[in-house]
């Protein structure tokens, strides 16, 4: 089994880490060698911490090769795409992957809120395109939504499902509807939380404490939006709102303003909190 991961940002690096942890041969593609090296260091860091904490005995980082050439994914059994969350770049990538990869390779997208069917439609072989939606942080969150697009074959779907199991995840099966299962529910809920900040004149700390201690959330909504990335959350909310037009799905202006100001959460050092 050989897995390709295209895009080694936070999600792609997490996915590549899971492959390495599962003993799977992995090729990670980034646009520059430096970005590939940075991802490799990040993966090495988190796996070393797991060894130090006794969670795993050892790991073999040589299972991961990084490249800037898509052509190096030619012999992969499954390719998982985790590039920028925009439809056109994803469609272009899938049409290129179709040319490069073996005809029986499964092509999976980690999109959060775009249509897997629209991505698949950029290829001549949409039967092998499937969604594999991981949650942030991918190495820690057990869920993978395995998403069946309109023309996904049973074979491709089951291969993606089995790969998620091999990676130690808890996969669930669903169809390609806006936001799939979790984001369909979670995005409007998080947007409600942000609106309540202003409506109830509650502080960020108190809102987070409220949801942690009153609703059993592992982290508060503001902490979570900071973790996901304010820009990513706004973008996903807009995509969901575009498709379903429910007012709760539209990103609250406060979040849009934060994104425009470069307050992107943990990754930029400042969001609701300062890091
Ligand atoms: N990658 C790999 N390993 C990581 C990591 C990452 N990004 N972040 C942390 N770790 C490792 C670290 O090594 C850390 O150990 P160390 O500090 O001793 O080195 C270890 O994981 C544990 O980290 P924490 O102590 O922070 O773990 P917690 O027990 O506090 O749990 C959590 C962290 C799992 C993130 C928990 O707070 C949680 O479940 N939060 C909710 C997250 C959530 O809801 N995510 C979904 C977001 S929605 C989404 O992703 C959809 C998308 O489409 C937008």
Determine the pLDDT at residue 113: 87
pLDDT digits (tens, 9 = 90+) for 186-219: 999 999 999 999 999 999 999 999 999 999 999 9
The yes-or-no answer on residue 233 being catalytic is no
Of 85, 98, 133, 223, the active-site residue reads: 133
Determine the pLDDT at residue 57: 95
Buried b (16+ CB within 10 A) or exposed e, 86-124: eeeebbebbebbbebbeeebbbbbbbbbbbbbebbbbbe
Question: Model's pTM, two decimal places?
Answer: 0.96
Determine the pLDDT at residue 169: 98
Beta strands in 116-262 (DSSP E): 129-134, 143-148, 170-175
Spacing, Cα 110 to ligand 1 middle (Å): 18
Determine the pLDDT at residue 206: 98
Locate the ligand 1 atom nearest the alpha carbon of residue 229 and give its number. 54
Spacing, Cα 71 to ligand 1 middle (Å): 33
Residues (pLDDT < 70) of the chain are none
């Amino acid at each position: 089994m050989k897995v390709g991961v295209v895009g080694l940002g936070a999600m792609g690096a997490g996915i590549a880490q899971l492959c390495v942890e599962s003993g799977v041969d992995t090729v990670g593609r980034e646009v520059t060698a430096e970005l590939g090296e940075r991802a490799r260091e990040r993966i090495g860091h988190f796996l070393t911490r797991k060894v130090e904490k006794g969670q795993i005995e050892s790991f073999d980082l040589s299972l991961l090769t990084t490249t800037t050439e898509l052509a190096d994914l030619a012999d992969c059994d499954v390719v998982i795409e985790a590039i920028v969350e925009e439809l056109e770049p994803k469609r272009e990538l899938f049409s290129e992957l179709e040319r490069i990869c073996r005809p029986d390779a499964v092509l999976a997208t980690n999109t959060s809120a775009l249509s897997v069917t629209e991505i698949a439609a950029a290829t001549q072989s949409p039967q092998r395109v499937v969604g594999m939606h991981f949650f942030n942080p991918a190495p820690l969150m057990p869920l993978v939504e395995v998403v069946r697009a309109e023309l996904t074959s049973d074979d491709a779907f089951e291969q993606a499902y089995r790969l998620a199991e091999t990676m130690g995840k808890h996969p669930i099966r669903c169809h390609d509807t806006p936001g799939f299962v979790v984001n369909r529910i979670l995005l409007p809920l998080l947007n409600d939380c942000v609106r309540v900040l202003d409506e109830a004149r509650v502080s960020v700390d108190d809102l987070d404490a409220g949801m942690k201690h009153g609703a059993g959330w592992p982290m508060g909504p503001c902490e979570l939006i900071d973790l996901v990335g304010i820009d990513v959350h706004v973008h996903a909310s807009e995509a969901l709102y575009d498709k379903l037009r429910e007012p709760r799905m539209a990103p609250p202006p406060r979040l849009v303003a934060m994104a425009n100001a470069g307050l992107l959460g943990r990754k930029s050092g400042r969001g609701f909190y300062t890091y």
